[in-house]
Every structure is written in C-alpha cells, then in structure tokens.
Structure 1
C-alpha cells in the first residue's frame, strides 16, 4: 500500500473525460493492500465444494434451473478493483458524455479522487460478488468472485469459523446466480432501467419512475437471494447474521459515512424489505410460488406490491 503514490496519481489525473479511469484503478490499488491468495489445495477445493453444494441445494430448494457462471474467481483486493473499474466506467459513461464543467481539470481530479475512495473502500470490504456485467458490450459472460483476504479477515474479526463463513457467502452469491439464470431477461431489464435513469440525470432531470422500478427489481433480487440462501444453507446461520449486523452497527463514523454515500444502507433495506415479501409469499405458495417472480418482467412485484404481498399474489394467480 502506498497512499502518497495514490494521492500523486489522483493529482495528475488527465484525459478528456470527467474521470481518469486509468488513474482510478492505479490509485485505488495503491490505497489498498492486496492481501494474499496463496491458498492450499484444501482451501481451493473448499471453495469448489462450497459452490457445488450451493448450486445443488439451491436447485433443489428453489426448483429453478440455472448454471454457474463460466468465470468463478478467488480474488485478492486488487483483482476485485481491476474487475470493477470497468463496471463503474460503464455505468458512468452516459453521465460523462453529457457533463460540462467550468474547470474541467480541477473537476477531473476531484471526480477521480472520490471514485478512487469508493473503490478502495469497497475493495477492502466486499466478501463475494455475483457480477452480471451489466451494460457490457459484446457477448460478456457473468462472473462470480470471492475476495479471499476479506473473507479471512472478517471471519477472524467476527470470531467465527472461516470455512463455515466462506460457505455462507458462497450460498448467497450462488443464489444470485440462480436468479439471473432463471430469468434470462433480467440483465436487459436492469440495463434498460439504469440507462433511463442515468440518461435523465445526465440531462439534468430525475426519472422517478425508472428509479422506482429499479429499486423494486433490486429489492426482489436481494430479497429472493436472502430467502433462498437461508432455506438452502446446510448449517445454522443465525449467529453469522447477528455478528455481521453487529459489526455493521459498530463501525466508526467514517465507515458509516462511506456506507451512506455508497448506498449500502439502501441495500440493507432492500434485503430486509425483499425478504419480508418473499417470506410471506413462500409461506402462502411455497418456494415454487415465490419463484414465479422470475417468469417475466411482468411478474416482478411493483414497489407497492412489495409492501402488500397479497396484492402481488392476487395479480399473478
């Protein structure tokens, strides 16, 4: 880690756009220790076994057909940053194309610095990621990442068994793979909503309906994954969830600020709201009834239906 070099790279941000993405990647890695991915054969096989077990159990519990991504990687923090710089760049492209500022050089340095801060914070905290590669060009393949140094560090901080914690993370990420595998239309649906919302922002307006639809869809994505993970996981997990929640609540003011700026509080709300919806639906119709949500965009719950599952059940019956 070299914070001074990171600051130097940010200060020399260049190019024609409002963000120097090459500088972002280099500076974020300079601000973050990579961590080790020197795994024993037993640890590598442990990851493989966790992913296979999650796929098998989730297929049985959710009664949906899906395959794992071709790319399943055990990463260090720098690997994760490299993979996600391109994601940030794709999402921000419509805004960048419409951005005019009075002092572009100063603005570029500030934007590059703030984006570096976000990526380095996430790189130190993300445990696993299912990446549907939204807005990617060509025939991009979905990917599944595990950030091993973060999994190891957090397991130690929570004083839980690392292998059990790793397996719990694997079940959650494979549950996301199940959703996108069961709903081939989902990536295009989310991309369309993102493009509408970002394009409106780039033109100085706010497409409230686009963001409401995106929030409802992501709430369904997070809530269903929570439901399936909990019902498919082959061990007790209440202590893991409680310790993770305690850790989140006990963080310092800077970490809480970063979570707020990155919308991670919203993501937690999506988990909780979505899971409450699917718990009600599954109690009424079983897991297969809950999985109906992935039949088409029309079977996604609206924002109002997320708070009134009976309304959604009546509509799709």
Structure 2
C-alpha cells in the first residue's frame, strides 16, 4: 500500500527470494516508516531523530508547510542529501555525446515507426538535476495518493481508541506532510542512483519534448555489460527517443496513466469496524497493551496490518489498467528499438536481455509503482505486450501496428494479453469485416455491374 502502510512487494515469488525484494530487506520498507518509529522506539523522540539530520535544521519552516499533502521542499532536500556524496555534475563532452546519440537514435527510428520524433531538445542530467527537474511530474502523480491516505487514516480512527491512540494521531497529523516528504525524498534519491533516462520508470518525467540521459548512471550501467560505452549510450538513446515519440504523439496516453493512478487513490478507504476489531485484537496481543508513551508499542501496532486499507474491486481494476498500459508502452519500445538496432548495434541482443533481467529483478519502474500503489509490473505482461507489437508489425506492417495507438479502445486489454496471438489474428478479421461493410455501404451506382445474363 502507499507510503509504507503495508508490504510494497506482494508478489510471493519475489518475497520468497529475500534480499532486496524479500521480506526483511531494505525494499520491505522503502520509505522508512518503520525506521522512523524504530528510531523513536530505540529510546529517542521525533525531536531526537530530527536533531541528528542536518536537513531538519529549519524544523519550524518545514512544520508549517502548506503546499499540499507532501512536503516537496523536504522531499527535494532529502533526495539531494542522499546524492551529495556521489554526485557528479555533467560535463560539456557528456552533453554533446548525449545530443549526438539521441539525434542518431531518432534517425534510425524514422525507418521503423510511423510516429515522428518527439524530441525538440536534448540534455544530459546529473542525478541531482534528475531529482529537481522531475519533481513537478512526481507531485502530480503522488499528491492525490498522499491526500487520500491522510484522509482515510484520519477519518477511520476509532473513537474508542482515541484516548490511547491520540498521541499517534497527533504525531501523524502534525508531521504528515513531513513524513510523506521524507519518504518520497528517500525514494527519489534511490531512484536517482539508478535511472538511465527520463522515461525509465514507464512515464515521461521531463518537460514535454525533452530527451534526457543521465551520464553518470549510464556509465555505471555500461561498466556492468561487456559492450563499448558508445554502443550502450546509443541503445539507451533509442529507448528514450522511442518513448518520447509515443508520449508526444499519443495525446491521451499520459492522462490515461495518471487517471489509473488517481482512480486507485480515490478508492483508498478504511473499514472503521474492521479497524476497531483489529485494534482490539492487536492491543490484546501486546504485552501490557498499547502504551502511548512507548513508541515501540506504537511501531508494533502500525506494523500489525490493522491500519492497512483494504483494496476494493475498483482499485484492482485500476491497477490492472495501469499495469496493462505500462506493459504496452514498454513492449512497444522494446519492439521498435529491436527493429532499429538489429542490423546496426552488434550487442543489441545482449543489451536487451540485460534490460529484461533488470526489470525482472525489480528495476526503477517496478520499484516505484510497487512502492506507490502496490503494483507489480510483472515481466510476463511485458513479454506478452512485446509479442503483440512484434506480431502486428510482421503480419500487418508498422502503420497498422502503430494505428492501434490512435484510440485507447483499440489497444489490447489485460485479457487480450493472456492470448496475444488471438488478439493479433482478430485484427485481420476486423479489417476484412470493415472492408466488407464499406462495400455494402456504397451507393447503388458505385456497385459493380452484374455479369451479362445474370440480371432478372
């Protein structure tokens, strides 16, 4: 569930693996809610925790944040403070190399897709620049989720537990914006260490028309594969340029992704009666009951799952829609990049496989959406989406393949991805049916004359 109110990774296979994606690893509490209360439970107080963190020096200013449910000033400070030690500013040579790679990538893509270039300007960002310049996009995505979490938690607090739970409610109400700001800042700092482009998480985060690579991360990625650095940069430029084309020329796509996230947010509710029953059971199971003066008991209560919102059928539908859209975007990018690079980049297959493994083990896109909305972007969905796009191009050509992006109703649904080749086959039948109905609709004078001797 959002912001640490539940396990971010609900895929049992991933959880059983342990480590980064398993229970008990760092990814089991990516935003540090448990760490916050754990530090308090270790004998300190919220003020003690803040005193150890330089970014809390202007505590009063941060506490008075009134810009929304997430303190984005704090998120920015927290993310940048994480990156300070390893930060490397971009050089003029890196900016030139990125610009040349993106321009060449666009030339190659012109030959494999009907969609024109979506890049008006190119740039190379440092990790800090990535954080600063993507904040507006993150705000639009995350604010509705945070707002619903705060509203749901506040409205569902049982009256009977108000006396003993009051201190916690006070902390959460008074520090809600700071907590979310700190959590989001930690997540963005982690992402900034890994992202390679402005579309690496599945949605465009840069200003419209801006093609971006992050040279420091690209260099680290290249160091892990046995390919020349220039080849790796061009491969990633192809992926960035392909994504930019899609989002620039499919005007409804960005809004559909945002709507799916916000539809999930609107469904965040908490069953008051279930909370009351859960609180009673949880407190009865605590040694000595709930002690408001003991942060360890507060942490135990928060970790019991009592306050976890229940996922509604509407939310599950929104998640499926989001998962499907992200898979279709990623699958299309994989397909057109493969076509553009297959005869030009000798190491394309190896690089593509590296990207697939990166996604399967929890790349930035999967981590981000698992943390924010509980979504698992399963590699199986990506493979099925890529199968659809590849088969559509081979059977009907690139124009008919890309035509599916002209309206959301033409795209494969989650059910279609269960049998991708059936969906592809139906497209041919639909075209034949459309041609027949077009002939039937022609005026009589346009119909072909009957053969001699066949008239009545």
* Alignment TM-score, normalising by the size of structure 1: 0.81
Deviations, residues 165-214 of structure 1 (Å, cap 9, x unaligned): 00000001111122223422322333333332222237875533232222
* Residues 249 and 220 of structure 1: CA distance in aligned 2, closer, same or farther (over 3 Å): closer
How far apart are the structure 2 equivalents of 1:221 and 1:286? 18
Alignment match, 2:193:
124
How far apart are the structure 2 equivalents of 1:47 and 1:198? 37
Alignment match, 1:149:
216
Alignment match, 2:73:
22
How far apart are the structure 1 equivalents of 2:389 and 2:360? 25
How far apart are the structure 2 equivalents of 1:123 and 1:235? 27
Per-residue deviation, 1:269: 4.5
Structure 2 SS opposite 1:60: coil
Of residues 20, 27, 50, the one that matches 2:101 is 50
Alignment match, 1:171:
238
Deviations, residues 55-91 of structure 1 (Å, cap 9, x unaligned): 12212112x1323333422000000001222222111
Per-residue deviation, 1:260: 5.7
Per-residue deviation, 1:231: 0.8
* Residues 181 and 153 of structure 1: CA distance in aligned 2, closer, same or farther (over 3 Å): same
* Alignment TM-score, normalising by the size of structure 2: 0.58
Structure 2 SS opposite 1:207: helix
Per-residue deviation, 1:259: 9.1
How far apart are the structure 2 equivalents of 1:258 and 1:296? 27
Q: Does 1:283 align with 2:394?
A: yes
Query: Which consecutive unaligned segments of at least 5 residues does structure 2 have?
Result: 1-49, 155-168, 271-308, 432-456
Q: Does 1:235 align with 2:286?
A: no
Equivalent positions of 1:94-133 (< 5 A) are 94-98=144-148, 99-100=150-151, 101=154, 102=169, 103-130=172-199, 132=204
Q: Does the aligned pair in 2 maintain the 1:217–1:301 contact within 8 Å?
A: no
Alignment match, 1:308:
419
Q: Does the aligned pair in 1 maintain the 2:208–2:248 contact within 8 Å?
A: no
Deviates more, 1:163-172 or 1:24-33: 24-33
Alignment match, 1:137:
none
How far apart are the structure 2 equivalents of 1:96 and 1:37? 33
Alignment match, 2:32:
none
Deviations, residues 138-183 of structure 1 (Å, cap 9, x unaligned): xx63432211111112212334311110000000111112222342
Q: Does 1:223 align with 2:331?
A: yes
* Residues 59 and 38 of structure 1: CA distance in aligned 2, closer, same or farther (over 3 Å): same
Of residues 55, 78, 91, the one that matches 1:9 is 55
How far apart are the structure 2 equivalents of 1:167 and 1:180? 20
Query: Which consecutive unaligned segments of at least 5 residues does structure 1 have?
Result: 135-139
Of residues 99, 106, 115, the one that matches 1:65 is 115
Alignment match, 1:196:
263
* Residues 216 and 34 of structure 1: CA distance in aligned 2, closer, same or farther (over 3 Å): same
* Residues 249 and 55 of structure 1: CA distance in aligned 2, closer, same or farther (over 3 Å): closer
* Residues 104 and 290 of structure 1: CA distance in aligned 2, closer, same or farther (over 3 Å): same
Structure 2 SS opposite 1:145: strand
Deviations, residues 38-60 of structure 1 (Å, cap 9, x unaligned): 132xx444322221222122121
* Residues 277 and 193 of structure 1: CA distance in aligned 2, closer, same or farther (over 3 Å): same
Alignment match, 2:133:
83
Q: Does the aligned pair in 2 maintain the 1:158–1:244 contact within 8 Å?
A: no
Per-residue deviation, 1:266: 1.5
Q: Does the aligned pair in 2 maintain the 1:180–1:186 contact within 8 Å?
A: yes
How far apart are the structure 2 equivalents of 1:178 and 1:227? 14
